[in-house]
Amino acid sequence: MQHAPAHPLDSGRLTADQVVDVARNGALVELDEVTERGIEATREHIDALAAANDPTYGVSTGFGALAIRHIPAERRAALQQALVRSHAAGAGPAVEPEVVRALMLLRLRTLATGRTGARLGTARALAAMLNAGIVPVVHEHGSLGCSGDLAPLAAVALALTGEGQVLHGAGGTRPAAEALAEAGIEPVVLAEKEGLSLTNGTDGMLGMLVLALHDLRGLLEVADLTAAMSVEALLGTDRVFAAELHALRPHPGQARSAERIHRALAGSGIIASHRAPDCGRVQDAYSLRCAPQVHGSALDLLAFADQVAERELAAAIDNPVVLDDGRVESNGNFHGAPLAHALDYLAIPLADVASMAERRTDRMLDVARSHGLPAFLAADPGVDSGHMIAHYTQAGIVAELKRLASPASVDSIPTSAMQEDHVSMGWAAARKLRRAVDGLRTALAVELLTAARALDLRAPLTPAPATGAARDLLRTRVPGPGPDAHLAPQIAEAEALLRSGEINRIAHQLGGHES
């Protein structure tokens, strides 16, 4: 794994960009001296409570519905290990390494706040495991998003103690004890409260939200660019994207999207070719004319979800939690509702943006509505099918995105003998949002392929510098118009182009988009 410079965990402060850097780029993390002293000071309060006669939840009692059970001192280490073993009860396929690294980092961030009572040695060991690139096996199913992401975090905690499995090679696994030994990391023997401190957080949900927000910022920018390409290809007008029109409805995302599309179309020879008063076109279809309204709404919701993520990145999620005066108090901050709602909200406009892209694609392929383009953009319609079935793929994905837009957070199944009688289902909301982000990328990739081919077919008319550059960049990976070819690899190449961020750089340089 390629290591970027280390990010300091200054009393638990992290930015979203740092989370992405650690999760995806293998950046290192470190605990500074002030943070370490804060962790040690908090631990002193836990040690004092452990020695006291009065029971304290998570320190000298059982967990959940078993909190009424007082645990004698000589059994408390066994209690913590038993909690981690029993809670590491996930099932299904392993989730992506970047998700596991994100949740590991975010749990370490919470330990660094000094609110959990975990020992300094435990925090250091978790940092070392993260820096060594050791990724525990975390399963798809096991979190209800309340009491935090229990099973996923327990899988990480189990590996930290030298038990369980970690990822190894291409799809393989190996014992955590082997990986720790190879990295020179001593397995942790958990002390009072540490089982809860390592498992009681919203870190999986938050990690997936941060990663999705990072991806969606780029994809919504691409959506404005592909919309501009489609407007050109369909001989649409750029006048509807003028700032004065969007100022009449002052949604900031709408204005931003309209400006992006307007700038992407600046200097277009295709637009200029039909701007004369004798042009018979009065209004473009909604999928062209209303793109800023739909894309902009998604941008505004992205801004809201950014706020939720920022607040959660400033939070200390644990139960019980250690306060400034040393008191250890139970609370409900582990409930994932704020994250679950944001994750669910995002899936709705995401599906709508993809749906609008699909409508523009269909319009370019329909000889009755494409204003002179060949049927399905085929080289020899009838012999060739052109992009007909690429559109089928796009339509199927859009249908799936509509299903994924159904909220997970409105569901709740009581657990733990009715102690946990309302749960957020935030983990499920995050998992489906990840699938939806991938679907949006594919839907936009198909529009990019189709619009680029249509622009080629408009020659000798020339596109705008920005849209033309996007078309030309695609041509370094995918050939231009010609007889039917295997389309699946072309769709994959367009997806890879979107994933790489190269097309966003084109937009920044030539279309005036902000980074």
> What is the structure's pLDDT at 272?
94
- Domain spans, the chain: 7-201, 209-278+288-413+430-510
Cβ atoms within 10 Å, residue 503: 22
Q: What is the dihedral of CA 83, 331, 17, 446, to 10 degrees?
A: 80
- What's residue 417's pLDDT? 78
Cα 147 to Cα 82, 155, 209, 288, 399, distances in angstroms: 17, 15, 18, 45, 33
CA pair distance 437, 505, nearest whole angstrom: 20
- Mean pLDDT of all residues belonging to the chain: 92
Identified catalytic residue from 57, 286, 345, 392: 57
Contact 200/83 with Cβ under 8 angstroms?
Answer: no
Superfamily of domain 7-201: Fumarase/aspartase (N-terminal domain) (1.10.275.10)
Residues 309/340, Cβ–Cβ less than 8 Å? no
What CATH number is given for 209-278+288-413+430-510 in this structure? 1.20.200.10
Token couple for 90: 């996930």
Task: Report d(CA 150, CA 198) in Å as an integer.
Answer: 9
pLDDT in tens, 306-361: 999 999 999 999 988 999 888 888 898 899 999 999 999 999 999 999 999 999 99
Task: Let me know: does 185 contact 409? Beta carbons within 8 Å.
Answer: no
57: annotated active-site residue: yes
Q: How many CA atoms lie within 13 A of 510 on its CB side?
A: 24
- pLDDT for residue 62: 66
Q: How far apart are CA 485 and CA 496, in angstroms?
A: 19
What string of DSSP letters covers 260-299? HHHHHTTT-HHHHHT-STT-------HHHHTHHHHHHHHH
Which residue stretches of the chain have pLDDT < 50?
1-2, 515
Contacts of 147 (CB under 8 A, 6+ apart): 64, 200, 319, 334, 416, 420
Amino acid 66: pLDDT: 66
Q: Which of 196, 154, 158 is nearest to 177 (CA)?
A: 158
Other CB atoms within a 10 A radius of the CB of residue 446 amount to 28
Give the pLDDT of residue 512: 53
- For tokens 């103690």, the residue is 161
Q: Helix 97-112 to helix 33-51 angle, to the nearest 10 degrees? A: 70
Closest CA to 104 of 211, 207, 214, 35: 207
